[in-house]
Amino acid sequence: MTDLVRPRGHQDAVAGLVRSAREGRLPHALLLTGPDGVGKFRAALWLATTLLCEEAGEAPCGACGSCKRARAASHADLFTVDARAHDQDELTIFFVAHREDRPSTAYQGTSIEDFLGLRAAEGRGKFVILREAHRLNEVAQNALLKMLEEPRDGVHFLLETATPDALLETVRSRVVEVRLDGLDRETCEAVLFDAGGFDRTDAAQVEEMAELVRLSGGAPGVAMELSSRRAPELAQLVGEALTGTRAAHEVAAELWEVDGDFEGKTAFVRRRVRAETILDLGLGILADAERCLAGGDPVPLRHGQLAASLAKSGAFASTPARRRMGRAWLEAREDLRLNLSPEGLVDRALASLSR
Ligand SMILES: [Zn+2]
């Protein structure tokens, strides 16, 4: 089953694309861009399902055979390319083109070429959705480029990514970019309530959700990820270390005890994702504290409260100390790409706080 959910916050953009399609003006390749977790993939799925729906309305009817097949991920004219759903980090040539000589570790499923080789089953066009298109490697992008260069009637490519710069200039020149931005607070909260897992009648959960929405910058997908990683607790601990309310070494141990769910195939990857989350939170708090120091209003900031207290604390009083902290956290974050101990890198960032 796919999550066919109304793309809240992007309804005007999607409605505009549906209208273009009804008038025969939908570009054959779209690239939906915008921050992570704002619902770009869902918007692409909604658009394709709408255009495949037998009712030909402004939204999928949800009840016709086409909508049911789309929801069950069994629609013959809708093909989703998703590296992570197949446990791959990269979208290789095997996702794009038909190759007989596939290594056994490579993706073994249907390629875009295979899919396009079949006639449209229902006559309302064929749609290829490329989730996280930045995962396409160069060989795969070049193979895709050939398909984009020779558009076929009724075939539509819907690419989505938060990092369009990862795509070749040649590919970008063949797609029409549509930007989908972060959602306002109410819309983001509505998406999270829709998704379940939060109880509107529980004051503590409502408060936690407001915190997650702030931390995510209006991206429900990111908010859900931060929730499973227990980011608000981690941010609190990092904030205590930064402001000097608690000793860094004490906080260091607790950061690794917070019972969050960090995704990854191996224990090392999960530890690295935890370190990444911790360091990103620290960098976010430091950046927001700089904004407060420059006279900015803390209220709309992701880390408003923590940042405001850090800006007022002794830790932030000296410019060289502030710079040293910022540099240390940034370097630790960059060094995470090397295969260094995640705990060691977090310790290194925290050590920059000892005054
Ligand atoms: Zn329908």
CA of 19 to the centre of ligand 1 (A): 16
- Please give the Cα distance from 25 to 144 (Å, whole number): 22
Res 199 pLDDT > 90: no
CA of 173 to the centre of ligand 1 (A): 33
Distance 67 CA to ligand 1 centre (A): 4
Answer yes or no: is pLDDT of 215 > 90. yes
The rounded Å distance from CA 53 to ligand 1 centre is 4
Share of the chain above pLDDT 90, in %: 81
Query: Does 2 score more than 70 pLDDT?
Result: no
Calculate the CA 268 to chain-centre distance.
22
For residue 120, name the pLDDT band (cuts at 50, 70, 90): confident
Q: How far is the CA of 244 from the centre of ligand 1 (A)?
A: 58
For residue 59, how far is its CA from the centre of ligand 1 (angstroms)? 8
Instruction: Report how far ligand 1's centroid is from the alpha carbon of 18 (Å).
Output: 14
CA of 175 relative to ligand 1 center, distance in Å: 27
Please give the Cα distance from 266 to 257 (Å, whole number): 18
pLDDT in tens, 252-294: 999 999 999 998 889 999 999 999 999 999 999 999 999 999 9
For the four alpha carbons of 143, 44, 262 and 333, in that order, the dihedral sign comes to positive
Which residues are within 8 A (CB) of 109 and not within 5 positions of it... i.e. 6 or more apart?
A: 86, 95
Tell me the average pLDDT across 88-99: 95
Distance 54 CA to ligand 1 centre (A): 5
How far, in Å, from the CA of 28 to the mean position of ligand 1? 22
Domains of the chain, CATH where assigned: 11-179 (3.40.50.300), 229-351 (1.20.272)
pLDDT at 32: 98
CA of 2 to the centre of ligand 1 (A): 15
> How remote is the CA of residue 63 from the centroid of ligand 1, in Å?
5
47 Cα–ligand 1 center, Å: 12
pLDDT tops 80 at residue 197: no
Tell me, what's the pLDDT at 142? 98
CA of 52 to the centre of ligand 1 (A): 7
Q: Region 199-226: what's the mean pLDDT? A: 91
**For residue 87, what pLDDT is reported?**
86
Instruction: State residue 265's pLDDT score.
Output: 85
Element spanning 176, H or E? strand 176-179
Distance CA 99, CA 240 (A): 55
Phi, psi of 19 (to 5 degrees): -60, -45
Ligand 1 centroid from CA 69, angstroms: 9
Q: Would you say residue 354 has pLDDT above 70?
A: no
Q: List, for residues 106-115, the tens digit of each pLDDT value.
A: 999 999 999 9
- Name which of 115, 150, 118, 125 is nearest 18 in CA terms: 125
The answer on pLDDT for 211 being more than 70 is yes
Q: How does DSSP assign 327-354, residue by residue? A: HHHHHHHHHTTTT--HHHHHHHHHHTT-
The burial class, CB within 10 Å (0-12 / 13-18 / 19+), for 339 is: exposed
Ligand 1 centroid from CA 43, angstroms: 16
- pLDDT confidence band for 6 (50 / 70 / 90): confident
What mean pLDDT is predicted for residues 217-234?
94
In the prediction, which pLDDT does 92 show?
Answer: 97
Average pLDDT, integer, range 10-14? 95
What is the structure's pLDDT at 79?
Answer: 97
pLDDT given at position 355: 53
Q: Is the pLDDT of residue 52 over 80?
A: yes
pTM of the model: 0.86
Rounded to the nearest whole angstrom, what is the distance from the C-alpha of residue 174 to the centroid of ligand 1?
30
In the reported structure, the alpha carbon of residue 21 is separated from the centroid of ligand 1 by a whole-number distance in angstroms of: 16
CA–centroid distance, 196 to ligand 1, in Å, is: 24
Does the structure show a pLDDT above 60 at 15? yes
Distance 4 CA to ligand 1 centre (A): 12
* pLDDT, tens only, 326-340: 999 999 999 999 989
Distance 299 CA to ligand 1 centre (A): 43
**Alpha-helix residue ranges (DSSP H) falling in the chain:** 11-22, 40-52, 65-71, 93-96, 112-117, 138-149, 169-172, 185-194, 203-216, 220-228, 231-243, 248-255, 267-293, 304-312, 319-335, 342-351
Confidence of residue 4 (pLDDT cuts 50, 70, 90): confident
Q: Average pLDDT over the chain, rounded to whole? A: 93
Residue 5 confidence (pLDDT) above 60: yes
Q: Give the per-residue pLDDT at 198.
A: 82
pLDDT at 278: 97
